[in-house]
Structure 1
Amino acid sequence: MTAMMKAVRLHEFGGPEVLLYEDAPRPEIATDEVLVRVHATSLNPPDLYLRDGYRRLPPEWQPSPTFPLILGTDVSGVVAAVGASVTGFEVGDDVYAMVRFPQDLMTGSGAYADYVRVSASELALKPSRIDHVHAAGAPMSLLTAWQFLVDLGHDAPNPFQSLAHTPMPLNGKSVLVNGAGGGVGHLAVQIAKWQGSRVIAVASGKHGALLTDLGADTVIDYTKVAAETVAKDVDLVLDAVGGAHMERFLPSIKPGGGLYLVNPLGFAGHDDAAKRQITVSTTQVRSNGAQLAQAGRLLEDGTVRVAIDSTYPMAEASVAHRRASERSIQGKIVLITA
């Protein structure tokens, strides 16, 4: 008899209303995998894009999966079972992970559920000083900031450019983070500060107090002034927002500096960047348990903190997705299992 669980599933693409909380088969693990009893999972932009069927992509790039799908990549929970070849994890361990990303980018990694299977190589012990809610908010955003700013951590081909992304040394440098109030942004502020940078945070004014508390040296309220008109001679801009006119930051960057694009689609300034001797670079975040353990030490000692925008029961995933579509999210939105 198949063991069952509760999960949030998609039977079709669409708005938040297509997220259905229902019974689903509990996943079975391979020999190199761990079954995690999920305590919390967080929302990330790919969750929203997949729910909507990646409609903004060209038709040939849009997914054609077999429904139903279970969204979600970030989890924090407790080990419920371990595969025969797994070492380093035992039943009862508190763990967290970014699950099968980008491998399951177009099909969902299964985190919006009571249980999820995770490759042992993607798993790390949860920092003991933080709870499951805050740990669930960390993996994708923390690994994105880490792989952009500290260490790429893999040699997989870069889907966005011919060369591997190489983080620049940041000690003594000035770093502007655009979208500093969001999931990636507020962690990037803290990691850049930890590396010895002078950090300029760009966000709406409602995030100012938080960002100052997290270590930002300067906060620019983009609702009052265009950041690119006041920020000058910075060494690096990390744009965690994307969208139109990302090249507007190029005049703010020193020759020899860098512009890192978390979402590079639509960037049109490569020629201008070359003339200004600015390196434009991007990469795609990848699951990495060893890096999550390494970055997790900063969560353990309080050097980096995860800001939580809001929490919802797993059964209210559709409400959480509506919240995620609003502006000025502060940190992460988290779903909690029953």
Structure 2
Amino acid sequence: MEEDPDVLAELAELAQGLAGYLREADQVDRLLSLFHDDRRLARRFDPAQGSWDGYQEDVEAAWEALDRRLAAAGVDDPIPDLVRLALVRATLSSAEDLPPALIAAAVRTSAWTPERAASTIGRHPSPDHRAELLYELLRAVRPGDDLRQALTTQVAELAFLPAADLPAEALLTGLGLLTPAERITVVDRIAAVAVVLSSMALLQGRLRGPQVSPETAVHVVETIAEARRPRFIANVAAALLRELEEPRGARPTREESGVWRPLMDLQQEDAIAAAIDPDRARMQAAALLERLFGFLPTGPLRDRPQRSSRTPRPGIRRPGTPRTPKPRTAAA
């Protein structure tokens, strides 16, 4: 009996999407059994692209199904499956942990397709590295490529990560590659949660959350119109002014502050203090503030002045007030 090619093609398609079907059917045990050996891995390898994207999709489907089962408290001992899936995911990510410039070069030379590069970037665990990789790929993709919109959307989505994971500095470095609306979205998010670095903050250990360097911030304000958001400029200017105004006294010792500090933290602060020249930091802050000054309001807004309700307008007499006699003019 001759095999029907259409039936074979349909069976192959069903086999490729097996993990997704099992997840939707809530067949979690059968889904997890796909990862008990490497047979599924071999079937999901794409020789044309040289990628494991299909196997990565299967891993994510299994992880999602196991999460739902855990939420429903329907598994006795999830640790073996969790460890197995974590190891598979870590292996796939570490195998693709490549420098941004190398991925961009692979796309430019057609060694990789842009789609494979985008899939690789999406698996990287570091938001900062993902932003750098996406920007490098955007520089390598042609302006009219359909993939470009998908890449810029991924960059904009990084701006909505939790504040602790926000890659603020990395997002600013390639801001010009985004659309105007996406630039405004990114800058507003950074202005809301990021801290502009200063030498005093480094010395006093006051760094919490996402950070941007004042040099990068001033540069994007100078070169990109959408970065000139009032709150963002105000944050940068305030940080530079603090750099100029804060006293340069010695840091309190552990005994003076009354708070115990780990030795590693103190050693790191000593290294930072030795590397920072306060006078040079002030000079740099002054220079940056001078560059930023041109984008600050030069004075109050020139709206029509507000008149007091008790001040009569010219030509209008309040009731009960005597008329002012008009001056007489001499007859000609």
Higher relative strand content: 1
Higher relative helix content: 2
**Common fold: TM-score over 0.5:** no
TM-score (norm 1): 0.23
Structure with more contact order per residue of length (Cα contacts < 8 Å, sep ≥ 6):
1
